[in-house]
Chains A and B, each alone.
Chain A
Amino acid sequence: MPEQDTCTRLVELLTAEQESLGAAWVEAVSRTLRGRISLAELDRELRELYAALVEGLRGGGLDWRGDAFGEVRALLAELSRTRARQGFTPTETATSVLAGKDVLAPSEDTSAGDVRAYLHLSKLIDALGLFTLEVYAKTREEIISAQAEQLMELSTPVVKLWEGVVAVPLVGTLDSARTQVVMEKLLQALVDTGSDQAIIDITGVPAVDTEVAQHLLKTVVAARLMGAECIISGIRPQIAQTIVALGIQFGDIVTKSSLADALKHALRRGDAAVVRPGGRA
Chain B
Amino acid sequence: MSGLAPVPDAEHESVPIGSNDDVVRARQLVRALAQQCKLSLVDQTKLVTAASELARNTLVYGGGGVMRVGLVHRDGRVGVTAVFEDSGPGIPDVDQALTDGWTSGGGLGLGLSGARRLVDDFTLQTEVGGGTQVAITKWAR
Contact = CB atoms under 8 A, between A and B. Distances in A.
Contact of B107 (A173, A175, A214): A214
Interface in B23-76: 24, 27, 31, 41-42, 44-46, 48-49, 52-53, 56
Contacts of A247: 100, 110, 113-114, 117
Contacts of A207: 27, 45, 48-49, 52
Contact of B20 (A175, A208, A248): A175
B45 A209 contact: no
A4 interface: no
A246 B42 contact: no
A1 interface: no
A118 B48 CA distance: 66
A20 interface: no
Q: How large is the interface on A (under 10, 10 to 19, 20 to 34, 35 or more residues)?
A: 20 to 34
B89 to A, nearest CB: 20
B48 A246 contact: no
B108 A214 contact: yes
A245 B138 CA distance: 14
A242 B24 contact: no
B24 A209 contact: no
Contacts of B46: 238, 241-242, 245
Nearest to A208: B49
Given A175-B20, A238-B42, A238-B44, A245 B118 contact: yes
A173 B20 CA distance: 11
A163 B27 CA distance: 39
Given A175-B24, A214-B108, A242 B56 contact: no
Contact of A241 (B24, B42, B100, B107): B42
Contacts of B117: 245-247
A127 interface: no
Q: How large is the interface on B (under 10, 10 to 19, 20 to 34, 35 or more residues)?
A: 20 to 34
B88 interface: no
B111 interface: yes
Contact of A209 (B42, B52, B113): B52
Contacts of B45: 206-207, 238-239, 241-242
Interface string B102-141: 0000011011011001100000000000000000000000
A210 B111 CA distance: 6
B41 A238 contact: yes
A237 interface: yes
B122 to A, nearest CB: 12
Given A206-B48, A209-B52, A237 B108 contact: no
Nearest to A212: B52
Contacts of A208: 49
A213 B52 CA distance: 13
Nearest to B111: A210
A204 B52 CA distance: 17
A214 B118 CA distance: 18
Nearest to B100: A247
Interface centre among B24, B108, B111, B117 (most CB of A within 10 A): B108
6 contacts: A175-B20, A210-B110, A211-B52, A237-B42, A242-B42, A248-B110
Interface of B: 20, 24, 27, 31, 41-42, 44-46, 48-49, 52-53, 56, 100, 107-108, 110-111, 113-114, 117-118
5 nearest CB pairs, A to B: A246-B114, A238-B45, A209-B52, A238-B42, A210-B108
